[in-house]
Structure 1
Amino acid sequence: MASSTSHQNSLPLPIFSGENYDFWSIKMKTYFMSQDLWDIVDKGFTTTENPSVEQLRQERKEKQRDANALYAIQQAVDDANFSRIMGASTAKEAWDWLKEEFQGTAKVRSIKLQTMRRELENLKMKDSEIIKDYYSRLKGVVNQLRAYGENISETRVVEKILISLTEKYDPVVTAIENSSDISQLSVTELIGSLEAFEKDWVAGMILH
């Protein structure tokens, strides 16, 4: 137990100050999974009436795990947000309070998700943008959607990029679509091809 506690305390925790809750919660989920605590944060634990000796022993272990998880959540928020969860007696209770406060109820999350879906659908590259900047904008929306539980595949991102570029990229888009299996093309490979085309295009403009 001592070595486990020592290992837990040695891992730095991301501190939540009221902004970017979605990113913070993903980092915390990964932390809890690394400590084998996510199940107790996500689902909580139950006690048994008139438990047997073995059940009582197991419940004590679960309470200890829950205390470890609750302590981690308390340490991972600043003082202002600690006041929101200081009354929580379990890790799940503290986690759910923060989730509802900063991500909203199921209905609010559904509305936010619909808004972000429309944002992704309507997103297009600006004439003044370079590939790096456009992909940064697109990636931001995709990451937010994924944080809300939306399953966005690599192929979907590739397809979105190809159909939302400005006209000057038409030659390279056509070449990619004719020579590649889009379902096997990674975003990294696509961005690399587009940046190479962009570099050649700029060089050609300078020469002319």
Structure 2
Amino acid sequence: MECGLRANELWDAVDPGGDAFKKEGAEHRKDRQAASAIYSVMPMDDLQHLIAKATAKEVWDTLKLMFEGHTCVKHANLQTLLRNYETLVMGDDESVDAFTSRVATLVNRIRALGENLTEASVVRRFLRAAPPRYLQIVTAIE
């Protein structure tokens, strides 16, 4: 969304960067355009939290809080995801494609919270999680 606001030259309304922001004229218009652009892509469930905000900056800060959370919440989520990552096991009836998708989703969520997982460590974890029936393939890959 930030990219879209920057492309339409509306990001300054969200992050004015100083006291130059005024409630009259062009700056106020940019603020309303930025808020409108944000409102247009939000689902109705999330929109109820944003309508009462006075500026695009307040709307953006609310979105950041809703989707990123406080630092302690982010750390708790990261710890939960890392525990799931470390205890990852491929189910006996699970296909390789389904397991790969599950691993990729988990790794992407971990990376989104700021943890650095290298591709090599992800591949090693993937191979350790494979069931014994794939032992020959795992050995060949290693």
Under TM normalisation by the shorter chain, which class is it? Answer: 0.7 to 0.9
User: Which whole-Å CA distance do the structure 2 matches of 1:100 and 1:143 have between them?
Assistant: 20
Matched, 1:47 2:19: yes
Listed one character per residue, the Cα deviations across residues 126-171 of structure 1 (whole Å, up to 9, x for unaligned) are 2222201111211221222233233333333222212211112221
SS in 1 for 2:48: helix
Mark the structure with the bigger radius of gyration.
Answer: 1
Q: Flag the 1:146–1:69 CA change in 2: closer, same or farther, 3 A.
A: farther
Listed one character per residue, the Cα deviations across residues 111-138 of structure 1 (whole Å, up to 9, x for unaligned) are 1111111111111112222201111211
Q: Flag the 1:107–1:153 CA change in 2: closer, same or farther, 3 A.
A: same
Listed one character per residue, the Cα deviations across residues 44-91 of structure 1 (whole Å, up to 9, x for unaligned) are 43215xxxxxxx9xxx77655544332211111233422211222332
User: Which whole-Å CA distance do the structure 2 matches of 1:96 and 1:30 have between them?
Assistant: 16
Paired residues in the alignment total: 140
One-letter amino acid matched to 1:45 = G
How far has the Cα of 1:95 moved from its partner? Answer: 1.8
Report the counterpart of residue 98 of structure 2 in structure 1.
Answer: 133
Name stretches of at least 5 consecutive residues in structure 1 with no aligned partner. 1-27, 49-55, 178-208
TM-score normalised by the chain length of structure 1:
0.55
User: Which whole-Å CA distance do the structure 2 matches of 1:161 and 1:150 have between them?
Assistant: 18
Report the counterpart of residue 137 of structure 2 in structure 1.
Answer: 172
Q: Flag the 1:94–1:174 CA change in 2: closer, same or farther, 3 A.
A: same
User: Which whole-Å CA distance do the structure 1 matches of 2:57 and 2:108 have between them?
Assistant: 25
Structure 1 segments, 4+ long, off by >6 Å, are: none
1:178-189 correspondence to structure 2 within 5 Å = none
One-letter amino acid matched to 1:166 = P
Q: Flag the 1:127–1:84 CA change in 2: closer, same or farther, 3 A.
A: same
How far has the Cα of 1:38 moved from its partner? Answer: 5.4
Name stretches of at least 5 consecutive residues in structure 2 with no aligned partner. none
Report the counterpart of residue 101 of structure 1 in structure 2.
Answer: 66
User: Which whole-Å CA distance do the structure 2 matches of 1:165 and 1:34 have between them?
Assistant: 44
TM-score normalised by the chain length of structure 2:
0.77
User: Which whole-Å CA distance do the structure 1 matches of 2:128 and 2:77 have between them?
Assistant: 24
Farther off after superposition, 93-102 or 115-124 = 93-102
Q: Flag the 1:44–1:88 CA change in 2: closer, same or farther, 3 A.
A: farther
Matched, 1:81 2:54: no
One-letter amino acid matched to 1:88 = K
